[in-house]
Amino acid sequence: MSEFRVDVYQNEYLPQGAAEVNAIVTVTATGEGAPVAAEPAAEVIIVDCSGSMDWPSTKLTAAKQATAAAIDALRDGVLFAVIAGTHTAAIVFPYEGGMARADAETRKAAKQALTRLSADGGTAMGEWLRLAAKVFDSRASTLRHAILLTDGRNEHEPPEKLARILAKVAGQYVCDCRGVGTDWEVGELRRIAETMLGSVDIVAEPAGLEADFRAMTAASMGKKVADVALRLWTPQGATVKFVKQVEPTLVDLTARRAESGPRTGDYPTGSWGAESRDYHVCVRVEPAGVGDKMLAGRVSLVSAAGDQLGTRGQMLAVWTDDTVLSTKISPEVAHYTGQAELAEAIEEGLQAQRGGDVETATAKLGRAVALAHASGHEDTAKLLANVVDVVDPARGTIRLKRAVSAVDAMTLESRSQVTKRVGRSSAAEEDAD
């Protein structure tokens, strides 16, 4: 079993009358001493085979090649299946349905089955996700991961149906979503990915699919423990304002809380390998008097069976009349608050730009440029420079480009939720001053 370490970063000092406690919780899973296949693993690859995948035909050809590469990246013994998605969903391999166990023979047979894929029909992603859940349930497995590839919008089922299916399959497996080309909708795939605790990204050219599929499968094969939850205990009278994953991507987990005991709730985090993630936890407590100290929250990681995994972290609140102490902002909290504002500014700016609202688009995207510059988020700064002309990055002074390619705009939107971790060394230096 992987070992989990919990570290809490905060300024525990609050001014008199303050009630809000903020902390960044860093969770690190080492996986030391654990075998690679600590739990049974299963992989389902969902390939869009709607008619548009043949326009141009290189999309479906590249999707077949990418799926073959993903199959080759599976460890021996891993259960797997391939689904073709149109306005319905069908199992491509194994022929008899269910899942096959990866070995030289099944890999060869699966890749042969891929050659028979053709593009026809519409797009109903809810049906694809529902069939994937059924396939996973056909064999005993714990680490469940799916890849969903599409080139278009979910046009052949109503949004309410997709929402209903997502609600049913949430928590059953993790799903990474990829959009190839520029005719799909970022918000649509993001809703799926966030619900399924996966990622979303654009693959602008079909030729890029193979490397991306191989990387996603390799990452999946590195997972060692499934269904890990972040458990938060709060004291009597306290309320949880929010729990959000803030690194490596922004995901709001607040509404996903499952009560697990007196004043205790669990928030799903999906599967883990040897990795580290950051969470922003905000708790409202009853204000106390100057000099009083309170345990405002206790954070741990638990397995699906409710067993504690590794160490616990504590959120503290100390009320003081020393303004030097109470006005100091935790570098970690400030950083991720800025990252959330950056993502929001990008999305609102792009939306305004699409709607022809030049004033709002300039203001929001200019703010995004300033935030990316201040946080050292060079990747986002480069993506922003593709959609605006940057005059002064520090001040956020920009001009909207007259023509922006769909690829550049969708790449920025797709990756707007990807965050940059705060430098711990600089934070430690500030604490020492």
| Token pair in block for residue 412 | 């920025």
The CATH T-level fold of domain 41-221 is Rossmann fold (3.40.50)
Query: Any idea what DSSP says for residue 75?
Result: P
The CATH T-level fold of domain 332-414 is Four Helix Bundle (Hemerythrin (Met), subunit A) (1.20.120)
The dihedral built from the CA positions of residue 369, 370, 371 and 377, taken in this order, carries a sign that is positive
| Token pair in block for residue 176 | 């990474």
Round to whole Å and give the CA distance between 252 and 421.
17
Residue at token pair 């296949």: 37
Task: Round to the nearest angstrom and report the end-to-end CA distance of the chain.
Answer: 39
Q: How many CA atoms, within 13 angstroms, populate the side-chain half-sphere of residue 51?
A: 6
Closest of 173, 402, 161, 395 to residue 268, by C-alpha: 173
Per-residue pLDDT of the chain (433 residues; tens, 9 = 90+): 568 999 999 999 999 999 999 999 999 998 654 444 457 999 999 999 999 999 999 999 999 999 999 999 999 999 999 999 999 999 999 999 999 999 999 999 999 999 999 999 999 999 999 999 999 999 999 999 999 999 999 999 999 999 999 999 999 999 999 999 999 999 999 999 999 999 999 999 999 999 999 999 999 999 999 999 999 999 999 999 999 999 999 999 999 999 999 999 999 999 999 999 999 999 999 999 999 999 999 999 999 999 999 999 999 999 999 999 999 999 999 999 999 999 999 999 999 999 999 999 999 999 999 999 999 999 999 999 999 999 999 999 999 999 999 999 999 999 999 999 987 543 333 444 4
In order of 108, 204, 410, the CA distances from 354 in angstroms are 46, 19, 12
Residue at token pair 């708790």: 283
Quote the pTM value: 0.94
The CATH T-level fold of domain 4-35+226-327 is Immunoglobulin-like (2.60.40)
- Domain locations in the chain as residue ranges: 4-35+226-327, 41-221, 332-414
CA dihedral 231, 235, 237, 240 (to 10 degrees): -30
Please say whether the beta carbons of 173 and 45 come within 8 A.
no
Please say whether the beta carbons of 244 and 414 come within 8 A.
no
Burial of 89 (0-12, 13-18, 19+ CB in 10 A): buried
Please give the helix or strand (H or E) that residue 361 lies within, else none.
helix 358-375
